[in-house]
C-alpha cells in the first residue's frame, strides 16, 4: 500500500484548521497527522509527528509565519504550502515566502471562508500532493477528490491559423526578437533568476506565470526591482519594446499581436485554458502566429502540461525553444511535458537559461 502524505496544519484560526483538515482528509492519499495554533507548538509537533508537508499561515501569534519559515528552511527544509490572503499586502508577504523556499500557496478568502475553501478543495488537495514530491531548497539569508473544471485547449482563445504562421515566417526577418516565458509552481523564483541576468537592452520578454489576480501586480513590481530591465504588469494595447518585460495579469490571457510595424500586448478574458488563466499555451500560440521564427521560448518549472503544445507549435515553425531541466525544477511537469511533446531544442539547468536565451536571440 502506498504511503500516505502526512500533513501538519499550522494556523491560529480554529475554523481554518478545521476546514483544511476536513478537505484534506477526504483524499485517501493524505493523512492530517496534527494541527498547531502557533509556530512554537508546531515546532514540537514537527519533531514528534514527522510530517511530509506543512500548511503555514502567515499571520500568527508568538512568531509570524515568515520568521518561522526562515528558521524551518534553514534548519530543517521541508515542503511548505502557505495560507495567504488575497490582498496586495498578503501578496507581498507570500512572494517573500516563495523566495524563502515555500513551494506554493493557498489563497484564504476574505468572506464566506467555509464555503469558498470548499470550492477550492480539489486545488488545495492538488497543491499538497505537488508539494509532497517537489524539490525543497534550504534557506540562506544570502541567497483531486472533488470535480475539476472542464479543460480547454488554446483553441477557445486563438484558433490555429496556418496563414498567420506563414505570414509570421515571411516577415520575421524585419521584426524585433521577442522572448516568451511560461511557468507555474516554483516559477516566481525561477523567473527572478532568469531576469536578474538580463541586461537593460535585452529583447522584450512576455511572461505567463500561473498566479492569482491580486498577486500579478506585486509580482511585477518585485521583479522590476530585481532586474536591469523595466517590468510591467501587461496592459491591453501596450506596445512591446526591447528592454521591457510584460507579465500577464492573473485574471487574463496575454497574447502578442502585430499592429502595423509594432508588437502590442493583447489581454483576453476568455475561458481558462488547461485550467489556467493566464495560459502559457495561449501566449505561445500568439507568439508563434505573430512573431514566428524570430521568437525564442522557455518553459520553466510547473505542474501540469500548459505550454507543451504551444511550445511544439513554436518549435515547428522555427522558433528556438528551451525547457528547464528536471534537477533544477521544483516540479518537472510543464517542462517535462514539453520535452515529451517533442517541442524542445535545449534542456538546461535554470542558471544557464538566461545566457542561452540571449545567445539564441543573437
Note whether 63 and 39 are within 8 A (CB).
Answer: yes
Same topology for domains 5-133 and 156-361, yes or no?
yes
* CATH superfamily name and code, 156-361: Methylesterase CheB, C-terminal domain (3.40.50.180)
Identify the active-site residue in 152, 210, 276, 315.
Answer: 210
Annotate 272-308 with DSSP letters as a single string.
Answer: -BTTBSS-HHHHHHHHHHHTGGGEEEEE-SBSS-TTH
The pLDDT of residue 155 is 80
Question: For this structure, is 184 an active site residue?
Answer: yes
Domain residue spans of the chain: 5-133, 156-361
CA–CA gap between residue 49 and residue 78 (Å, rounded) = 13
Active site annotation includes 253: no
292, 169 contact by CB (below 8 A): yes
Q: What is the full per-residue pLDDT of the chain (362 aa) written as tens digits?
A: 679 999 999 999 999 999 999 999 999 999 999 999 999 999 999 999 999 999 999 888 888 889 999 999 999 999 999 988 766 678 899 999 999 999 999 888 777 888 888 888 999 999 999 999 999 988 876 553 444 455 677 787 778 776 655 555 554 444 689 999 999 999 999 999 999 999 999 999 999 999 999 999 999 999 999 999 999 999 999 999 999 999 999 999 999 999 998 999 999 999 999 999 999 999 999 999 999 999 999 999 999 999 999 999 999 999 999 999 999 999 999 999 999 999 999 999 999 999 999 999 98
Write down the catalytic residue from 52, 104, 306, 325: 306
d(CA 98, CA 109): 20
Q: Quick one: fold of 5-133?
A: Rossmann fold (3.40.50)
The pTM of this model reads 0.88
Burial of 338 (0-12, 13-18, 19+ CB in 10 A): buried
Active site residue 143: no
- CA dihedral angle for residue 27, residue 119, residue 248, residue 348, rounded to 10 degrees: 0
pLDDT at 147: 41
Model pLDDT, residue 158: 79
Catalytic residue among 37, 132, 183, 184: 184
* Cell 511530509 found at: 52
Amino acid at each position: 500500500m502506498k504511503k500516505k502524505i502526512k500533513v501538519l496544519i499550522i494556523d491560529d484560526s480554529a475554523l481554518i484548521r478545521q476546514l483544511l483538515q476536513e478537505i484534506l482528509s477526504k483524499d485517501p492519499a493524505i493523512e492530517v497527522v496534527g494541527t498547531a495554533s502557533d509556530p512554537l507548538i508546531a515546532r514540537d509537533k514537527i519533531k514528534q509527528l514527522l510530517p511530509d508537508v506543512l500548511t503555514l499561515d502567515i499571520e500568527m501569534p508568538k512568531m509570524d509565519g515568515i520568521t518561522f519559515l526562515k528558521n524551518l528552511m534553514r534548519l530543517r527544509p521541508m515542503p511548505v504550502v502557505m495560507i495567504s490572503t488575497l490582498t496586495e499586502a498578503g501578496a507581498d508577504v507570500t512572494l517573500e515566502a516563495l523566495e524563502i523556499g515555500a513551494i506554493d500557496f493557498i489563497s484564504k478568502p476574505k468572506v464566506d471562508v467555509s464555503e469558498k475553501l470548499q470550492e477550492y478543495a480539489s486545488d488545495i488537495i492538488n497543491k499538497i500532493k505537488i508539494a509532497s514530491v517537489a524539490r525543497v531548497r534550504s534557506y540562506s539569508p544570502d541567497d483531486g477528490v472533488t470535480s475539476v473544471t472542464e479543460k480547454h485547449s488554446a483553441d477557445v482563445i486563438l484558433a490555429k491559423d496556418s496563414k498567420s504562421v506563414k505570414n509570421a515566417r515571411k516577415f520575421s526577418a524585419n521584426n524585433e526578437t521577442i522572448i516568451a516565458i511560461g511557468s507555474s509552481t516554483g516559477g516566481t523564483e525561477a523567473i527572478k533568476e532568469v531576469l536578474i541576468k538580463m541586461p537593460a537592452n535585452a529583447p522584450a520578454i512576455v511572461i505567463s506565470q500561473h498566479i492569482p489576480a491580486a498577486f500579478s501586480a506585486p509580482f511585477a513590481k518585485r521583479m522590476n526591482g530585481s532586474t536591469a530591465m523595466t517590468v510591467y504588469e501587461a496592459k491591453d494595447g501596450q506596445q512591446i519594446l526591447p528592454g521591457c518585460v510584460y507579465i500577464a495579469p492573473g485574471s487574463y490571457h496575454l497574447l502578442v499581436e502585430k499592429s502595423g510595424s509594432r508588437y502590442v500586448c493583447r489581454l483576453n478574458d476568455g475561458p481558462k485554458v488547461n485550467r489556467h488563466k493566464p495560459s502559457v499555451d495561449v501566449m505561445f500560440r500568439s507568439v508563434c502566429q505573430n512573431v514566428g521564427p524570430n521568437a525564442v521560448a522557455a518553459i520553466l518549472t510547473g505542474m501540469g502540461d500548459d505550454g507543451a503544445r504551444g511550445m511544439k507549435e513554436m518549435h515547428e515553425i522555427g522558433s528556438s525553444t528551451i525547457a528547464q531541466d528536471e534537477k533544477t525544477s521544483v516540479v518537472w511537469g510543464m517542462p517535462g511535458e514539453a520535452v515529451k511533446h517533442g517541442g524542445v531544442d535545449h534542456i538546461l539547468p535554470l542558471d544557464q537559461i538566461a545566457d542561452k536565451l540571449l545567445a539564441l536571440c543573437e
